[in-house]
């Protein structure tokens, strides 16, 4: 793969997964595709990390998993947000915007020392 | 209902389904890869290329698979736990609903459990705070008290240490990393610089300590500083750390107290600090309470001596980390024979041989608690037995209820509920009962703990801190859990007969099935009776001890007597004549008070502090020969005494006369009075009047000569042997043995109703003679006598309550069982009556059934009672642990109660109308 994709910051993957699933239930591959589409392939999810992350979110009770069928009639495991997951998402989103705002302030600050 | 069971079973199996979890993980990943490969093929990849590309994008498939399996197994386990918790809560809810439908049963069970658990929790709270908690000193588990047993002086006799021993052990016992010495003394304390402006003097307790005691006690100063090594050097200036209580009462918590001058026994002492509240010396044997210390003063011992053979210093030490008590003991045992060589002025070889003198280290806690620990454990055991009986009762009630639900349970079992499921239901029911009981127990315990504390005798350490702690709460909850499990077990055992197909056919009543269940209930009742007998015998033995003790002649008439004490500082009262003159003047004034019949003073008063043991000297050498032959020593309780003392306490005169004033004004006459026990030991079979004796073991003339013999007295308690009392006048014989009476106890007999009303007048009388002498520790002699029996009566009362409750519970259990049996056998009885059995015969039949169970229980209980009585052993007085009367009475009482418990339902049985009984079938 060309080296132009962005590395995911630590802890961001959970947030992306929760946000993605807030639109509705998806299976693992569906999540990858959706994120790639939305970011115009600028952000690529490492598949080896995706599934452990999903299962951990399920363990913590933020996701619920259920077996369903794709349009092609294939059996796949679908994930969806639980009530606790929804609460977690809004908490993470506000945390993230505070963080990115702070980073932006530093990056756009005018140099005042000189 | 059965749906619920199946669902649960699935949940229970889930965490074990490793294979299922792994399969799901594989399926999920396979889907991902296959979908990806198809996508790639659609983009123009060949099948092989697509497969490789998809794998590559995914990374280490096996590792991810293993990781996911791990996570999912964890999730499944967590979920199962959560669900079984939910299921348990559901069970509880069901149980509560079903119990509510039987309020009578529920109330009886909860009440029984609540009282049983509450009593157990209360005694546990006491036990925890008083016995189990560590002492309030740093590294308290490593603290030891050193004592010198002297079996050659008296059996069980123990002396404190000498300064020579202190220095020798401090130097040579490496297993001790700290050692401290102290001596308590009464002082007359006044604030202010001197005569004018100084506050009124008060009696106070001073502790003369080595600087190391500060560290051993974990002392802290809240103002100024503690005593340092520099304060403790020989010749250092007088410095005192005052207690926070004295700081408050005498200085009004003045923050600038450091540097102020106190007058202790008329000597100026500088205050250098205020001790933090709660710092105290550990209780010593013979002390009813830990003495509250008002002043801490450096003892300033000189390591260079001089050393004497005086064993009056209390010593505490800390075992070094890594060392053991037995190691330190071994070292001290080796050091002991060196003492005569190291300190020839204090020790001789002969001294060791004659007194069999040696040093023993005791764990400090054992010394502080004394026999309180044993008494509390006994009580704990007793309430534990009551709780067991209570549980047996509840189990019995539960069985009765199961019996009535037989049909319902049989149906349940027929539609697939397993024994385990029914057991879970029973556990939930037991848990509900036990938890409700625990809630009630907390209330019972909160109330009764306060009552226990108010009731308990003085001298129980840390009793003020007893309360319902979180540990007590956990203890109660633990009990509840155990009880629930026990009840569930009993229920499960009895189900075995219920779940068979046959149970469906069993009618609501009648039939002879369920013999096993009947037997289980029989066993419970037998156990109850056995346990009850143990407690009844135990309290019977204590009651008998108490009665024996009450019957002991105290040798005094305590009614109408008030006692108090005062201390004449030797700095001013520097001759015995001055001491006598003070006493003579004050006592003369007291005798002139309206209502006062007699007044006197002596160093010792019976039942208060013990007469001690001081070696006596005898004029006739034959006395020594006789003692040697009998293996006895010359030690006796010697006490300087004024005229009026025997009269005030009404100690009877056996021969000769009481003291007179001339015994002090003309001391050369050498009058002395001894108790009957003293005369019988030292001059057996002889007339004691005129015999020669000397204080402090002096064998040279001049000798005192016995002028009177008085009745026997008890030193510390009525259950201890009588004291060997010997009373000398205050003023010593010129050229004879010497003493100095430090603190004197004053006894005043009055015809007034309350002797304590004399207090103000006594204080005024003392003031008129010497206003610097305070009086202290005023109380009635009757209180002293009552206190000396306090421990026994406290334990006796509680054990008596436990025994009565046990008796009542056992009776209820037996009654319940017999009534039930009668109810079940109504038609059989009906048939018997129809066939011509007389009511008498029916009655006898039922009562016999009850008595058979009772006798079985009593046989088992007799063995248990003998064991329990042996544990009580040390508390008993004048009663053998196998006292036949106590056993016979207890057995009779239990048989009578059992007979009554059987007779009430028996009468019901006898009145059965055969026609009705048979029609009901």
Which has the closest alpha carbon to B620: B706, B562, B548?
Answer: B706
**Structure tokens that stand for B448 in this block:** 């009764």
Task: Output the pLDDT for position B497.
Answer: 55
pLDDT, tens only, B678-720: 999 999 999 999 999 998 888 888 899 999 999 999 887 787 7
Asked if B68's CB is within 8 angstroms of A56's CB, the reply is no
Task: Output the pLDDT for position A89.
Answer: 92
**Rounded Cα distance, B788 and B791, in Å:** 8
Q: Is B675 helix (H, G, I), strand (E, B) or coil?
A: strand
Q: How many CA atoms lie within 13 Å of B55's alpha carbon, on the beta-carbon side? A: 7
Asked if B31's CB is within 8 angstroms of A29's CB, the reply is yes
Asked if A56's CB is within 8 angstroms of B28's CB, the reply is no
**Structure tokens that stand for B732 in this block:** 């010593």
Asked if B72's CB is within 8 angstroms of A28's CB, the reply is no
Task: Output the pLDDT for position B12.
Answer: 40
pLDDT, tens only, B132-183: 888 888 888 899 999 998 877 667 778 889 999 999 999 999 999 999 999 9
Task: Output the pLDDT for position B828.
Answer: 80
Partners of residue A49 in chain B, C-beta under 8 Å:
59
Please tell me if residue B67 touches chain A, with a CB cutoff of 8 Å: yes
**Rounded Cα distance, B567 and B186, in Å:** 7
Task: Output the pLDDT for position B417.
Answer: 65
Q: Cα angle vertex B736, ends B734, B742, to 5°?
A: 90
Q: How many CA atoms lie within 13 Å of B205's alpha carbon, on the beta-carbon side? A: 15
Q: How far is CA B699 from CA B24, B243, B611, in A?
A: 103, 45, 22
Please tell me if residue B885 touches chain A, with a CB cutoff of 8 Å: no
Helix B103-127 to helix B372-404 angle (10° resolution) is: 160
* Residue B402 scores a pLDDT above 80: no
Please tell me if residue A29 touches chain B, with a CB cutoff of 8 Å: yes
Please tell me if residue B574 touches chain A, with a CB cutoff of 8 Å: no
- Region B440-449: mean pLDDT is 86
**Rounded Cα distance, A73 and B761, in Å:** 110
Q: Looking at CA atoms only, how far is residue A18 from chain B in angstroms?
A: 18
**Rounded Cα distance, A108 and A104, in Å:** 6
Which has the closest alpha carbon to B297: B325, B324, B322, B265?
Answer: B265
Q: Are strands B692-694 and B653-656 parallel, antiparallel or unpaired?
A: unpaired
pLDDT, tens only, B314-345: 999 999 998 999 999 999 999 888 888 888 88
Please tell me if residue B24 touches chain A, with a CB cutoff of 8 Å: yes
- Region B85-93: mean pLDDT is 84
What lies within 8 Å, CB to CB, of B486 at 6+ separation is B391, B395, B430
Task: Output the pLDDT for position B848.
Answer: 87
Please tell me if residue B66 touches chain A, with a CB cutoff of 8 Å: no
**Rounded Cα distance, B829 and B766, in Å:** 85
Residue of B26, B71, B73, B78 for testing the chain A interface, max A β-carbons within 10 Å: B71
**Rounded Cα distance, B371 and B367, in Å:** 9
What lies within 8 Å, CB to CB, of A79 at 6+ separation is A21, A25, A26, A27, A28, A31, A54, A57, A58, A63, A64, A65
Which has the closest alpha carbon to B762: B591, B506, B630?
Answer: B591
Asked if residues B232 and B210 have their Cβ atoms less than 8 Å apart, the reply is yes
Kindly tell me the burial class for residue B79, based on how many C-beta atoms sit within 10 Å of its own C-beta (0-12, 13-18, 19 or more).
middle
- As a whole-number percent, the residues of chain A with pLDDT over 90 amount to 26
DSSP state of B129: I
Find the CB nearest A51 among B68, B75, B78.
B68
Asked if B60's CB is within 8 angstroms of A47's CB, the reply is no
Q: How many CA atoms lie within 13 Å of B277's alpha carbon, on the beta-carbon side? A: 6
Within B260-371, residue ranges assigned H as helices are 325-335, 339-342, 349-355, 364-369
Asked if B27's CB is within 8 angstroms of A77's CB, the reply is yes
The residue written with tokens 């009614």 in the block is B559
Task: Output the pLDDT for position B3.
Answer: 41
Find the CB nearest A75 among B27, B59, B71.
B27
Lowest mean pLDDT among B16-30, B232-246, B637-651, B760-774: B16-30
pLDDT, tens only, B806-824: 888 888 888 887 887 787 7
Asked if residues B857 and B533 have their Cβ atoms less than 8 Å apart, the reply is yes
pLDDT, tens only, B512-567: 445 666 778 888 888 888 988 998 998 889 888 888 888 888 889 999 999 998 98
Asked if A47's CB is within 8 angstroms of B31's CB, the reply is no
A:B CB pairs within 8 Å: 53
Between B190 and B580, name the one with better pLDDT: B580
**Rounded Cα distance, B782 and B787, in Å:** 9
Do you find a cis peptide bond into B702, omega within 30 degrees of 0? yes
Please tell me if residue A79 touches chain B, with a CB cutoff of 8 Å: no
Partners of residue B29 in chain A, C-beta under 8 Å:
51
**Structure tokens that stand for B362 in this block:** 């005791």
Please name every residue paired with A27 in a beta bridge, in sequence order, or none if there are none. A78
Q: How far is CA A50 from CA A30, A34, B34, B769, B917, in A?
A: 11, 13, 17, 99, 78
Kindly tell me the burial class for residue A101, based on how many C-beta atoms sit within 10 Å of its own C-beta (0-12, 13-18, 19 or more).
exposed
Partners of residue A58 in chain B, C-beta under 8 Å:
71, 75
Annotate B361-375 with b (16+ C-beta within 10 A) or e (fewer). Answer: bbbbbebbbbebbbb
Asked if B59's CB is within 8 angstroms of A47's CB, the reply is yes
Task: Output the pLDDT for position B142.
Answer: 92
Q: List, as one string, the DSSP characters of B465-523.
A: G-S--HHHHHHHHHHHHHHHHHHHHHHHHHHTTTSSTHHHHS-SS--S--HHHHHHHHH
Task: Output the pLDDT for position B419.
Answer: 65
Which has the closest alpha carbon to A58: B62, B25, B31, B63?
Answer: B25
pLDDT, tens only, B339-362: 888 888 888 888 888 778 889 999
DSSP state of A9: P
**Structure tokens that stand for B242 in this block:** 């005052």
**Structure tokens that stand for B852 in this block:** 């058979």
**Rounded Cα distance, B539 and B535, in Å:** 6
Q: Is B708 helix (H, G, I), strand (E, B) or coil?
A: strand
Asked if residues B745 and B601 have their Cβ atoms less than 8 Å apart, the reply is yes
pLDDT, tens only, B572-630: 888 899 999 999 999 999 999 999 999 999 998 998 877 777 788 899 989 888 888 87
Task: Output the pLDDT for position B464.
Answer: 66
B259 C-beta neighbours (distance < 10 Å), count:
9
Please tell me if residue B64 touches chain A, with a CB cutoff of 8 Å: yes
What is the interface pTM, i.e. ipTM, of the complex? 0.86
Partners of residue B75 in chain A, C-beta under 8 Å:
55, 58-59
**Rounded Cα distance, B328 and B325, in Å:** 5
At residue B747 the predicted structure's pLDDT band, cuts being 50, 70 and 90, is very high
Find the CB nearest B64 among A29, A48, A76.
A48
Please tell me if residue B78 touches chain A, with a CB cutoff of 8 Å: yes
With CA atoms as reference, the chain A residue closest to B68 would be A52
Please tell me if residue B75 touches chain A, with a CB cutoff of 8 Å: yes
Q: Is B755 helix (H, G, I), strand (E, B) or coil?
A: helix
Partners of residue A51 in chain B, C-beta under 8 Å:
28-29, 32, 64, 68
Task: Output the pLDDT for position B858.
Answer: 92
Task: Reduce the secondary structure of B433-462 to three states and give it as a string.
Answer: HHHHHHHHHHHHHHHHHHHHHHHCCCCCCC
**Rounded Cα distance, B676 and B437, in Å:** 58
**Structure tokens that stand for B900 in this block:** 């009554």
H or E element in which residue B298 lies = strand B295-298
Lowest mean pLDDT among B492-496, B572-576, B871-875: B492-496
At residue B193 the predicted structure's pLDDT band, cuts being 50, 70 and 90, is very low
Task: Output the pLDDT for position A8.
Answer: 61
Within B150-286, residue ranges assigned H as helices are 163-172, 212-217, 244-251
* Residue B403 scores a pLDDT above 80: no
Q: With the CA atoms of B121, B127, B128 and B131 taken in that order, what torsion angle do they form, in degrees rounded to the nearest 10?
A: -170
With CA atoms as reference, the chain A residue closest to B59 would be A48
Partners of residue A59 in chain B, C-beta under 8 Å:
71-72, 74-75, 78
Question: Could you give the maximum distance between any two Cα atoms of chain A, in Å?
Answer: 66
Task: Output the pLDDT for position B426.
Answer: 79
**Rounded Cα distance, B589 and B578, in Å:** 17
- Region B10-30: mean pLDDT is 71
Q: Is B539 helix (H, G, I), strand (E, B) or coil?
A: helix
B590 C-beta neighbours (distance < 10 Å), count:
23
Partners of residue B81 in chain A, C-beta under 8 Å:
none
Please tell me if residue A27 touches chain B, with a CB cutoff of 8 Å: yes
DSSP state of B128: I
Asked if residues B710 and B675 have their Cβ atoms less than 8 Å apart, the reply is yes
Asked if residues B535 and B378 have their Cβ atoms less than 8 Å apart, the reply is no
Partners of residue A76 in chain B, C-beta under 8 Å:
28, 31, 35
């Amino acid at each position: 793969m060309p080296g132009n994709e962005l590395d995911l910051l630590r802890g961001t993957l959970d947030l992306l997964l929760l946000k993605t699933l807030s639109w509705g239930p998806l299976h693992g591959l569906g999540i990858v595709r959706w994120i790639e589409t939305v970011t115009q392939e600028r952000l690529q999810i490492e598949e080896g990390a995706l599934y452990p992350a999903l299962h951990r979110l399920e363990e913590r009770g933020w996701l619920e998993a259920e077996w369903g069928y794709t349009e092609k009639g294939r059996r796949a495991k679908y994930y969806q947000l639980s009530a606790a997951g929804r609460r977690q998402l809004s908490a993470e989103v506000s945390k993230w915007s505070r963080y990115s705002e702070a980073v932006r302030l530093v990056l756009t600050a005018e140099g005042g020392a000189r | 209902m059965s749906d619920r069971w199946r669902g649960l079973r699935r949940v229970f199996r889930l965490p074990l389904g490793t294979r299922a979890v792994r399969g799901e993980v594989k399926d999920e990943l396979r889907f991902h890869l296959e979908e990806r490969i198809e996508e790639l093929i659609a983009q123009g990849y060949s099948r092989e290329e697509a497969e490789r590309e998809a794998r590559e994008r995914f990374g280490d498939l096996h590792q991810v698979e293993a990781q996911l399996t791990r996570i999912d197994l964890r999730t499944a386990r967590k979920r199962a736990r959560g669900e079984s918790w939910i299921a348990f809560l559901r069970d509880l809810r069901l149980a509560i609903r079903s119990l509510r439908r039987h309020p009578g049963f529920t109330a009886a069970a909860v009440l029984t459990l609540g009282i049983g658990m509450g009593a157990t929790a209360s005694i546990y709270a006491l036990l925890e705070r008083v016995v189990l908690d560590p002492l309030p000193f740093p590294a308290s588990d490593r603290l030891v008290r050193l004592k010198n047993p002297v079996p050659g002086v008296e059996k069980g006799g123990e002396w404190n240490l000498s300064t020579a021993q202190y220095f020798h052990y401090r130097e040579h016992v490496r297993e001790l990393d700290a050692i401290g010495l102290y001596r308590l003394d009464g002082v007359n304390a006044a604030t202010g610089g001197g005569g004018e402006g100084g506050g009124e003097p008060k009696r106070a307790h001073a502790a003369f300590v080595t600087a190391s005691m500060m560290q051993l006690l974990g002392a802290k100063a809240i103002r100024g500083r503690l005593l340092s090594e520099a304060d403790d050097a020989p010749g250092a200036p007088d410095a005192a750390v005052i207690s926070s209580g004295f700081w408050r009462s005498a200085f009004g918590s003045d923050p600038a107290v450091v540097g102020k001058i106190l007058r202790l026994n008329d000597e100026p002492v500088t205050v250098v600090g205020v001790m933090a509240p709660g710092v105290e010396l550990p209780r010593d044997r013979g002390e009813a309470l830990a003495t509250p210390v008002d002043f801490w003063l450096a003892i300033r011992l000189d390591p260079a001596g001089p050393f004497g053979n005086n064993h009056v210093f209390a010593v505490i030490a800390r075992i070094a980390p890594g060392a053991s008590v037995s190691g330190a003991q071994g070292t001290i045992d080796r050091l002991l024979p060196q003492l005569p060589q190291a300190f020839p002025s204090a020790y001789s070889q002969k001294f060791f041989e004659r007194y069999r003198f040696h040093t023993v280290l005791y764990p400090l806690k054992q010394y502080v608690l004394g026999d309180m620990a044993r008494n509390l454990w006994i009580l704990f055991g007793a309430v534990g037995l009551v709780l067991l009986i209570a549980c047996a009762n509840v189990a019995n009630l539960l069985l009765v209820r199961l019996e009535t639900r037989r049909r319902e349970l049989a149906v349940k079992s027929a539609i697939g509920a397993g024994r385990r499921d029914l057991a879970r239901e029973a556990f939930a029911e037991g848990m509900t009962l036990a938890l409700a009981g625990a809630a009630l127990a907390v209330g019972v315990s909160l109330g009764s703990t306060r009552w226990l504390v108010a009731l308990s005798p003085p001298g129980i350490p840390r009793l003020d801190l007893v309360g319902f702690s979180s540990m007590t709460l956990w203890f109660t909850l633990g009990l509840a859990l155990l009880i629930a499990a026990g009840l569930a077990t009993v229920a499960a055992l009895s189900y075995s007969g219920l779940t068979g197909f046959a149970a469906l056919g069993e009618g609501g009543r009648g039939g002879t099935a369920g013999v096993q269940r009947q037997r289980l209930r029989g066993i419970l009742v037998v156990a109850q009776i056995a346990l009850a007998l143990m407690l009844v015998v135990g309290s019977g033995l204590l009651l008998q001890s108490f009665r024996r003790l009450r019957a002991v002649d105290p040798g005094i008439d305590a009614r109408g007597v008030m006692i108090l004490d005062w201390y004449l500082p030797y700095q001013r009262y520097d001759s015995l004549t001055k001491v006598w003159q003070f006493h003579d003047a004050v006592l003369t004034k007291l005798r002139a008070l309206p209502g006062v019949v007699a007044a006197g003073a002596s160093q010792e008063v019976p039942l208060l502090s013990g007469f001690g043991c001081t070696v006596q000297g005898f004029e006739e050498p034959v006395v020594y020969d006789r003692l040697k032959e009998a293996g006895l020593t010359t030690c006796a309780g010697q006490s300087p005494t004024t005229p009026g003392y025997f009269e005030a306490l009404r100690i009877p005169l056996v021969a000769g006369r009481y003291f007179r004033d001339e015994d002090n004004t003309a001391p050369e006459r050498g009058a002395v009075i001894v108790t009957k026990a003293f005369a019988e030991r030292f001059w057996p079979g002889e007339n004691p009047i005129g015999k020669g004796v000397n204080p402090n073991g002096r064998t040279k003339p001049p000798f005192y000569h016995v002028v009177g013999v008085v009745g026997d007295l008890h030193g510390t308690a009525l259950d201890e042997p009588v004291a060997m009392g010997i009373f000398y006048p205050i003023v010593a014989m010129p050229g004879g043995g010497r003493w100095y009476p430090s603190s004197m106890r004053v006894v005043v007999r009055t015809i007034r109703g309350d002797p304590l009303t004399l207090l103000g007048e006594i204080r005024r009388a003392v003031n008129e003679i010497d206003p610097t002498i305070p009086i202290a520790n005023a109380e009635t002699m009757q209180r002293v006598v009552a206190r000396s029996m306090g421990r026994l009566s406290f334990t006796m009362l509680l054990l008596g309550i436990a025994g009565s409750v046990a008796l009542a519970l056992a009776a209820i259990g037996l009654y319940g069982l017999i009534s039930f049996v009668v109810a079940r056998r109504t038609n059989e009885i009906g048939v018997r009556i129809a066939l011509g059995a007389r009511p008498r015969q029916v009655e006898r039949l039922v009562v016999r059934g009850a008595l058979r169970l009772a006798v079985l229980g009593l046989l088992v209980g007799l063995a248990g009672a003998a064991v329990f009585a042996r544990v009580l052993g040390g508390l008993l007085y004048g009663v053998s642990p196998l006292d036949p009367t106590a056993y016979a009475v207890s057995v009779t009482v239990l048989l009578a109660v059992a007979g009554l418990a059987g007779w009430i339902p028996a009468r019901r049985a006898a009145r059965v109308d055969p026609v009705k009984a048979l029609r009901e079938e």
